[in-house]
């Protein structure tokens, strides 16, 4: 292999080492046994929480706004109230990682954190309240540079992992 090939491979590895974004798959497990899966993308103060199910939706947090886009009709979006949402809290947990607390409280929600061994992100987030009992597992996490288009919602760009 030529020196140029080694240089290109080295640059690619080096750029991923200093990537500011995170891509994870998630699995939501509800108390009744229901299961939902999708992708989580986080970069700085931006977040994308996308369910794989076309009947569900994608949540984008950008510019301090929380937006929901239907997966089956991506040209329609809706601003939602962020004060009672766990989504902006995920950014704070990401920024604190690996020094996250074991427990957080958000209004009536109790949030427990289980840390992950691989040091990229938490393993599990458990949410408990009077109306909700849910665990979110994060896996296959990778540090990477994320295209800013993945955090735009009009139009919503489909996320295709590498």
Percent of residues, the chain, with pLDDT higher than 70:
85
Q: Which residues on adjacent β-strands are paired with residue 1?
A: none
Q: How many CB atoms lie within 10 A of CB 143?
A: 15
Tokens of 48: 């994308």
The answer to whether the CB of 113 falls within 8 A of the CB of 102 is yes
Q: What are 33-48's pLDDT values in tens digits?
A: 999 999 999 998 999 9
Give me the pLDDT at residue 88, please.
81
Alpha-carbon dihedral angle through residues 98, 150, 56, 72, given to the nearest 10 degrees:
-170
Tokens of 10: 């080295």
CA angle at 33 for the pair 108 and 100, rounded to the nearest 5°? 45
Tokens 């939902």 identify what position? 36
Give me the pLDDT at residue 158, please.
86
Task: Share the mean pLDDT of the chain.
Answer: 84
Tens place of pLDDT per residue across the chain (162 aa):
544 333 333 333 333 344 579 999 999 999 999 999 999 999 989 999 999 999 999 999 999 899 999 999 988 899 988 776 788 888 888 888 888 899 988 888 899 999 876 678 899 999 998 888 999 999 999 999 999 999 999 888 888 886
Tokens of 114: 């289980």
Pairing of strands 77-80, 103-106: unpaired
Class in CATH terms, 21-151: mainly beta
């Amino acid at each position: 292999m030529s020196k140029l090939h080694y240089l290109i491979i080295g640059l690619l590895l080096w750029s991923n080492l200093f990537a500011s974004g995170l891509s994870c798959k998630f699995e939501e497990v509800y108390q009744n046994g229901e299961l939902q899966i999708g992708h989580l993308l986080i970069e700085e103060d931006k977040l994308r929480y996308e369910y794989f199910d076309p009947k569900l939706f994608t949540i984008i947090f950008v510019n301090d706004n929380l937006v929901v886009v239907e997966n089956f009709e991506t040209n329609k979006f809706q601003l939602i109230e962020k004060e009672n949402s766990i989504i902006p809290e995920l950014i704070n947990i990401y920024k604190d990682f690996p020094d996250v607390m074991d427990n957080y409280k958000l209004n009536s929600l109790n949030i427990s954190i289980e840390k992950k061994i691989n040091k990229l992100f938490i393993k599990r987030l458990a949410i408990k309240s009077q109306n909700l009992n849910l665990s979110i597992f994060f896996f296959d996490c990778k540090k990477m540079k994320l295209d800013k288009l993945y955090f735009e919602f009009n139009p919503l760009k489909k996320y295709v992992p590498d």
